Amino acid sequence: MLCLKFGFASAFVVCFFATGTIVQAASDWARPGSRPRCEANPKFRVVDVSFPIVGVKAPSGRSVLQELKGFGVETIFRYYDHENETLPGKTLLPAESDAIIKAGMKIGVVFQHNNDSPVKFMDPNAGTADAKRALFLADQNKQPFWSTIYFGIDGPELHLSPLVKEYKRNSGRPMSEERKEELRRSGKEGRQVVTRYPGFLALGPAAFSVDDLGRVTPGMMRPLIKKYFNQIAAQFADYKTRNGGKTFNIGMYCTAGMCAFGEKARFADYFWLSPEGRNDPIFDTYLKGSSQLSLVQHLPTSCVDWKPVRDNQTFEMDFNQVRAGRPDFGQWNRKRP
pLDDT higher than threshold 90 for residue 256: yes
Flag whether 195 is in a domain: yes
* Claim to verify: residue 232 and residue 99 sit in the same structural domain: yes
Edge-to-edge order in the sheet of strand 2-6: 2-6, 12-16, 22-23
Q: Which of 137-146, 152-161, 272-281, 310-319 has the lowest mean pLDDT?
A: 310-319
pLDDT digits (tens, 9 = 90+) for 177-215: 999 999 999 999 999 999 999 999 999 999 999 999 999
Question: Could you tell me where the DSSP H helices lie in 86-125?
Answer: 94-102
The predicted structure's pLDDT at residue 313: 86
Mean pLDDT score, 16-28: 41
* Claim to verify: residue 91 and residue 41 sit in the same structural domain: yes
* Claim to verify: residue 193 and residue 142 sit in the same structural domain: no
Of the candidates 145, 311, 126, the residue with the CA atom closest to the CA atom of residue 231: 126
* Claim to verify: residue 181 and residue 276 sit in the same structural domain: no
pLDDT digits (tens, 9 = 90+) for 25-42: 445 788 998 899 999 999
Flag whether 327 is in a domain: no
Assign residue 110 the CATH number of its domain.
3.20.20.80
Give the global pTM: 0.91
The predicted structure's pLDDT at residue 317: 97
Mean pLDDT score, 261-283: 96
Collapsed DSSP state (helix, strand, coil) of residue 327: coil
* Claim to verify: residue 122 and residue 224 sit in the same structural domain: yes
* Claim to verify: residue 17 and residue 107 sit in the same structural domain: no
Mean pLDDT score, 45-57: 95
Of the candidates 301, 304, 300, 302, the residue with the CA atom closest to the CA atom of residue 59: 304
In the chain, how many domains are there?
3
Mean pLDDT score, 206-230: 98
Q: Rounded distance, CA 215 to CA 90, Å?
A: 36
* Claim to verify: residue 82 and residue 226 sit in the same structural domain: yes
> In terms of C-beta density within 10 A (0-12 exposed, 13-18 middle, 19 or more buried), how is residue 27 classed?
middle
Percent share of the chain, pLDDT over 70: 92
Is residue 252 within 8 A of residue 150, CB to CB? The reply is yes
> What Cα–Cα distance (Å) separates residue 172 from each residue in 168, 201, 202, 231, 250?
6, 8, 11, 31, 38
Look over the chain and give the mean of its residue pLDDT values, rounded to a whole number.
92
Flag whether 330 is in a domain: no
* Claim to verify: residue 63 and residue 212 sit in the same structural domain: no
The predicted structure's pLDDT at residue 247: 98
pLDDT higher than threshold 50 for residue 4: no
* Claim to verify: residue 65 and residue 206 sit in the same structural domain: no
Flag whether 334 is in a domain: no
Range of the domain at 301: 33-157+219-322
* Claim to verify: residue 260 and residue 149 sit in the same structural domain: yes
Flag whether 337 is in a domain: no
- The overall longest dimension of the chain from CA atoms, in Å, is 67
pLDDT digits (tens, 9 = 90+) for 280-294: 999 999 999 999 999
Mean pLDDT score, 255-283: 97
312 confidence band (pLDDT: 50, 70, 90): confident
Flag whether 1 is in a domain: yes
- Residue partners of 27: CB distance under 8 A and separation at least 6: 288
The predicted structure's pLDDT at residue 224: 98
309 confidence band (pLDDT: 50, 70, 90): confident
* Claim to verify: residue 199 and residue 291 sit in the same structural domain: no
Flag whether 328 is in a domain: no
> What Cα–Cα distance (Å) separates residue 288 from each residue in 75, 106, 258, 278?
24, 27, 15, 13
Mean pLDDT score, 109-135: 98
The predicted structure's pLDDT at residue 27: 53
Flag whether 336 is in a domain: no
Is residue 301 within 8 A of residue 35, CB to CB? The reply is yes
* Claim to verify: residue 44 and residue 167 sit in the same structural domain: no
